[in-house]
Amino acid sequence: MANYQKQFESIGFGYDTLTAKGYNKINGISFTVDLNPNTKDYIVSAACRPVDETAVASMRQAIQQFASERKKVIKNAVFDGKQIIIVWYIADIAPNITKFINDSVSFINYCINQFGCVPCCASCGNESNANIYAIENNIAALCESCFYNTQNRLAGNMYKENQIVTNYPLGILGAVLGGLGGAVLWIITSLLGKISMIAGAFAGIFGYFGFKKLGKKMTLQGLIISLTVSFIFLLAGMYFAIGVDIFNAVKEYGFTFSEAFEWIPDYLTDPEATGEIIYNHFAGFITFILGAMCCIFQYNNEKKVKNRMIKLM
Ligand SMILES: [Zn+2]
């Protein structure tokens, strides 16, 4: 991500780290660049429109042609009445993004000059020297009145959000169910003979989302509770998986499942065996920590973008 920031800055664009979006104002027109790692769509938009309505058709034609000449890299390009939007298809893992941004900007600049475009608001489409705002997890070019409307809507959301009280009993139930899911996943992957590294991470993530789903609202306490609960369940899952391992080793001698389980404490204190256990389950602890870090990052990020409304440019 830091790499993207440098690339944006090298071509004079600003970069919003929370949303991984770039922005710039060129000749008063607001440009935004949205890098979507999920869809691999990289979207360059410019909030502008022709003053003369009759120019719209020929501008649309030019946009169509621009896109069709670059079929391999451009997925779609349109003018939606308020913005020229170019959707690039980037398959590279670590792409150089400056080229497609520069290509977009020079083509959009051509449209602006050729078809007499003026800056406008990306929300209402009115001609206006719109500013670029970061609004929660998005960035947008808004006129003053759309800015105030959005601000009011966010204030309303914040009020409603504050009315929601975290339901801790249900949240804990959610964390328990999530943690149980993680433990079961651990046991299943362990029974299949190969401990899946990922299963440990899922334990924490399941617990986190379990709490959030049933508890209605995540809090710092909820975060700590859900990660603790899921860790306990992961340990229980590991304990059970060790029992199953012992049972598998001794069942041919006629021992039962419960007898095998009674041996777990002895097994766990046997230095020779313990080394093997640690080796087998170590990956689970590591991935659990990684999963927990994802949850903490998610919580932190959500908190940062919640009701965020700042002027970027
Ligand atoms: Zn507006």
Distance 64 CA to ligand 1 centre (A): 26
- The Cα 203–Cα 56 span in angstroms is 54
Instruction: Walk along the chain (313 residues) and give the pLDDT tens digit of each residue.
Output: 448 899 999 999 999 988 889 999 999 999 999 987 777 789 999 999 999 999 999 999 999 999 999 998 999 999 999 999 999 987 666 678 899 999 999 999 999 999 999 999 999 999 999 999 999 889 999 999 999 999 999 999 889 988 999 999 999 999 999 999 999 998 888 877 665 667 888 999 999 999 999 999 999 999 999 999 999 999 999 888 888 888 888 888 988 888 888 888 888 888 777 776 666 677 788 889 999 999 999 999 888 888 888 999 9
145: in domain: yes
Distance 281 CA to ligand 1 centre (A): 56
| Residues 141 and 121 sit within 8 Å (Cβ to Cβ) | yes
Distance 148 CA to ligand 1 centre (A): 9
Distance 131 CA to ligand 1 centre (A): 10
Q: Is 1 exposed, middle or buried (0-12, 13-18, 19+ CB in 10 A)?
A: exposed
Last residue of a domain, one of 119, 142, 159: 159
- The Cα 161–Cα 306 span in angstroms is 10
- The pLDDT value given to residue 278: 67
Distance 133 CA to ligand 1 centre (A): 12
Same domain, 100 and 195: no
Distance 141 CA to ligand 1 centre (A): 8
Same domain, 20 and 130: yes
Last residue of a domain, one of 125, 159, 193: 159
Query: Coil, strand or helix: which one is 157?
Result: helix
Residue type present at position 177: L
List the Cα angle 66/71/75 in 5-degree steps.
Answer: 90
List the Cα angle 106/127/311 in 5-degree steps.
Answer: 75
- The pLDDT value given to residue 134: 94
Residue type present at position 197: M
Distance 127 CA to ligand 1 centre (A): 8
Distance 46 CA to ligand 1 centre (A): 14
- The Cα 222–Cα 215 span in angstroms is 8
Same domain, 152 and 199: no
Distance 44 CA to ligand 1 centre (A): 19
Same domain, 124 and 257: no
- The pLDDT value given to residue 2: 46
310: in domain: no
312: in domain: no
Residues β-bridged to residue 119: 48
Distance 140 CA to ligand 1 centre (A): 10
Domain of 241 in residue numbering reads as: 168-305
50: in domain: yes
Distance 106 CA to ligand 1 centre (A): 25
- The pLDDT value given to residue 195: 58
Distance 129 CA to ligand 1 centre (A): 10
Task: List alpha helices for 192-219, DSSP H.
Answer: 197-215
Distance 120 CA to ligand 1 centre (A): 8
54: in domain: yes
Distance 48 CA to ligand 1 centre (A): 12
Distance 51 CA to ligand 1 centre (A): 16
Same domain, 48 and 179: no
**Relative orientation angle of helices 98-115 and 55-68, to the nearest 10 degrees:** 150
Domain of residue 34, CATH code: 3.30.1460.10
Same domain, 8 and 143: yes
Distance 34 CA to ligand 1 centre (A): 20
Output the pTM of the full model: 0.73
Same domain, 97 and 142: yes
| Residues 50 and 56 sit within 8 Å (Cβ to Cβ) | yes
Same domain, 16 and 82: yes
- Identify the DSSP state of 251: G
Distance 149 CA to ligand 1 centre (A): 9
Q: Which two three-digit tokens encode residue 228?
A: 């603790």
Distance 82 CA to ligand 1 centre (A): 10
Distance 69 CA to ligand 1 centre (A): 33
